[in-house]
Amino acid sequence: MKSLSTIAQRLADEIRTQDWADAHSRADGARHNRAVDRKGGEQLSPDETEVVRMNVIWVVAQALAEDDPNFSIRAFAKAAGATDKWLYNKDGRPNRGIEAGLRATAE
């Protein structure tokens, strides 16, 4: 697997460690830590949370891919916490869904 640039790795780390389960109902940036949160509130299901995470991965990856011709969306998605459901087919082969989430850019 390709290694990521320093900035891509930092962004992937932030995406992976963020609590996305209530991202639809609150905006408190990178400081959010539900373990010490006193507000509570509605939370997404695990599947819904994964959809939010994947959309964030694709949005950030789009910008990184446009900046770096050697960028690997697959390596980035894995580092950002994408689950195997998004990365592999049922038979264990890599699927193309990760790559399909990026817009083609005109050169």
Q: Is residue 54 part of a domain?
A: yes
* Whether the predicted pLDDT of 35 surpasses 90: no
Which pLDDT value is given to residue 54?
95
Q: Is residue 21 part of a domain?
A: yes
What is the arithmetic mean of pLDDT over 69-84?
A: 95
The total of structural domains in the chain comes to 1
Residue in 14, 1, 34 with CA at minimum distance from that of residue 80: 14
Q: Is residue 51 part of a domain?
A: yes
Q: Is residue 29 part of a domain?
A: yes
> Which has more confidence, 104 or 30?
104
Q: Is residue 67 part of a domain?
A: yes
Q: Is residue 70 part of a domain?
A: yes
Residue in 64, 45, 57, 66 with CA at minimum distance from that of residue 13: 57
24 is in which domain, residue-wise? 6-100
